[in-house]
Each structure stands twice: as C-alpha cells, then as structure tokens.
Amino acid sequence: MHHASFTLDPAFSIGAVDPRLFGSFVEHLGRCVYTGVHEPGHPSADEHGLRRDVLELVRELGVTVVRYPGGNFVSGHRWEDGVGPHRRVRLEPAWRSIETNAFGLGEFAAWAREAGVEPMMAVNLGTRGVQEACDLLEYANHPGGTHLSDLRAEHGAAEPYGIRLWCLGNEMDGSWQIGHRPAADYGRLASATARAMRMIDPGLELVVCGSSHHDMPTFGAWEAEVLEAAYDDVDHVSLHAYYREEDEDPASFLASGSAMEAFIEDVVATCDHVRAKLKRPKRINLSFDEWNVWYMRPVEEEARPWEHAPRLLENVYSLTDAVAVGGMLIALLRHADRVKIACQAQLVNVIAPIMTEPGGPAWRQTIFYPFAQAARYGRGEVLRVEPVSPVAETAKYGEAPLLHATAVRDGESGTITVFAVNRALDAPMELTVDVRALNAPGGAPGGLRVLSHEVLADDDRHAENTRENPDRVRPRTLDGAGAATLDGGRLRAVLPPLSWNVIRLGS
C-alpha cells in the first residue's frame, strides 16, 4: 500500500475554471466528419445528415467548444468550396484524401447549435492570407448588406453565425505544414491578419500559433519571436501535445500529465518574458487546442490511394490510456489561471473518445469517461493542491509522483470535487486529505460529507471498449472497503492501482 496526502483550504486557489477548458476538435481528417458527425442516410440522421446518436454522446461528454476545420487540413482549405449549393471536390494533400466539401461552414454552424457548443474557427494562413481571412469573417459574422453577408443569407443563414473565437492558422512552425514559414514571417502575417479581422469585428478573441510540441527544435524561440510581433493583437497562444506509451514503459507514459504541466509552465514563462520585455500590462493566456493520447504509426503516403474519408488514426484506447488522459485533465485544471481554452483532439473516430461505424452504432471509448466527469464536475475554483506522495523513477521524465491530483470548488453549492490518479501499477494508494479548513467560515455550509467516490480501474490495464463490448471499461461507484470516508476533518480513501478517481464532498 502506498500512502499520499494533501491539504485543501479555500483561501488558497489557482483560479476559476473557464468552461472552454473542456473543448474538442473536429477536423476534415479520416472519418471525423464523414460517417462521424455527418452521415446522411444513417438510421439516426436528422434532416441535415447529422448523426443524432453522436450528438447525444457529445452532449453527454460535456464538450463546450469545438475547433474547426483543422488542424493540418486548414492550411490548404478554401472555405468557399464548402458553402452554397454547388460544392467543389478537391484533393486534400495534408491527409492525402479526397474532400467533397459536402460538410462546410454552414453545416458545422448548424451542428454546433445542435450540440450546444461554441464554435472555434481556424483561418488558413498556409496558402492564403489577410484578405481571405477577412472574407470568411465577413461571411460568417456580418449581419447583412454586403456581398458576402448577403451570400450567407442566400445560402440559408439569414442570421450571422456570431463566431467569437478564431485561430490564426495551425502549426505554422512545422515543416509538414502546407505553407510553413519562419517565425518572423508568421508573426508579421498573424499580426496583420488579427488587426484586419478586428477592423471588421472588434470583439473577437484570437489565438496565435505556438509550437507544435514541446520537443520542436525552435520551441521557446518560436513563441518569443511570434509574440514580439503580434503581442498587442492576440489574446492566446496555442500549445499542442500528444503522448503515447513507448517500449512497454507505462511509468513514463503515466507521467505524461506532469510533462504537460512542465510544457504549460515553460510557455507561460515565455509569454511573461515577452510581456516584461515589451512593458505591456496585458497577459497572454494559453489555448491548449490539441492534446490527447495518439499512437502515431508511419503511413506510406505515396502508396496510399486518394480516398474520401479513409480510416485514419482510429486508435482504440485502453484503461492505461484513460488514466493517462485523466492526468492530462488534472494538468489543465492545475493551470486554470492561464489555460483558458483546451481542445482534446479529436471528437469522433480519429484519436477520439467517440467511435462510430458507417450505418452502425456509436460507442464510448475508455478515454470518454475521465473527460465527461471532469467536464461535469470540474467547474468553479481550482484549489491549490500540493501532494506529499511517493515517487517513481521514469525513463523519460525522471522522478514523477505516484499521486497526481487537483480539486475544484463550486462557489454556489460549496461542493468540492477531488480528481486523483494513482499511477502505481502494482499497489493501491491510501489517500488522506485534510479538509478542516473547508468547514470553516467560507467553506461548505453545514459541514461536509462524502457524496460519492467513483473510480475507473480494471484488473487488465490493456482492457478496451469495442463495438462488440462497448461497456468493458466504465466508472463504478466505490462503496464499502476503500471507499472515501470523512471523519474529524480528514478525508480518507483507497485509490486502486492504475486508477482515475472522482471524490465529491458536499453538505
């Protein structure tokens, strides 16, 4: 049995959770769009071809914002091809696919309304530039009386889409990106695009491209150079990170949440360095708009035929992956003061929490559950958690604590939710939390009690949810031995080996 502890005090908080921390990502890649969110003729499809079974799962997942249409896809995308009655079929070189553009901006806006999510639109700064971004914005947001806004009305949307959140390109630091350019060039283009877009619609929130991942050779220098050019014109800088288990090394993989925290802290330091250098009062926040577990497998692009909606990146996730994803959600919450937007990539079929079959069912992958629980209960003020925990030596990241945890307090109800991961593969962990301060003035009214202790765990760390067995791995409520108890201002619980835990306290 491992032992770990921490203290909760409402006087010590990180910051308020922005609901957009629980975002996702829909890209024209593989089957994310076609036979994912959109499949005319499916038994569950509505009159617009949107799969209702997927919409129900998206609502259950608790997604708040969705980034669209890419991703690498956006850097060669011509938005005009996907509006109006006459759609153009194009080669899509980023993912070597045929793009029919049957699903475009109007369909996405309609889907976002049905799903109850805020749209986050990306503009093409790979093969296009300032004018095309402004044209797209005018089409999407201007009320009427101009060629492009009237064209939108002609296409069936009299009311503007009102998209407030925009990404200025995607991964422009990457040599794989269509239209890749150096930091200085991209910074100038992003600044010019941002200023022009705000001339049309001053109330936008804009995200500038940061590094594609922490290990990029230009990481840090890229952010600094881009922000020096565009600091006054943008609100957020993007981060992207994907993690996977390599060489049968679960200890390193399960420490991915700690690596994610280090990445966030490095980007915050760079943003604040530029702020100090430029002597600006404004702070740039972070948009972690691509993150997930991704088992990247080499693809011989030249040998693969050009197809419409091929099966690409359809990872099947295990319990181990789900626990790692739980750690990543904890990492985001622990930095809620600066991470204001985050998008798990992607939503359906492509490295996704939701899987579908054409003409068939939709089901929840293992990673669905930590996200859904965090999105449901992770609202309010993040309390500072500094665990005392045993550590494990990892090959990739050095020492990593076996307990990864955070806590969120709902200011209205006083309910406290503890999110905790036991990274140990071989032993349970006895967790003790000092909650005496939560019963003091300003704490939960009427004293605390344990409302529930839910756990995601399994005897087989490789257990998966599949079409044939979609409920193999799912959360269960702990009761009896090991379940959370509260006595004398001390919360005690036993966290099973390799587990994601959600413990809720209230009056």
Q: Are 133 and 197 in contact (CB under 8 A)?
A: yes
Query: Which of 80, 171, 225, 245 does the annotation list as catalytic?
Result: 171
Within 8 A by CB and 6+ apart from 164, the residues are: 118, 203, 204, 205
Per residue, the 3-state secondary structure of 284-326, as one string, reads CEEEEEEEEECCCCCCCHHHCCCECCCCCCCCCCEHHHHHHHH
290 is catalytic: yes
**Angle at Cα 21 formed by Cα 375 and Cα 497, nearest 5°?**
55
Among residues 483, 274, 309, 498, the alpha carbon closest in space to that of 404 is found at 498
Rounded to whole angstroms, the Cα distance separating 493 from 479 reads 10
Q: Are 277 and 228 in contact (CB under 8 A)?
A: yes
80 is catalytic: no
Residue 411 CA from chain centroid, whole number: 24
Structure tokens at 273: 């360095």
Q: What are phi and psi of 322, to 5 degrees?
A: -65, -40
Q: Are 490 and 435 in contact (CB under 8 A)?
A: yes
| Strand 398-401 to 391-394 pairing | antiparallel
Q: Are 190 and 181 in contact (CB under 8 A)?
A: no
Query: Which of 80, 118, 138, 290 does the annotation list as catalytic?
Result: 290
Active-site amino acid positions:
171, 290
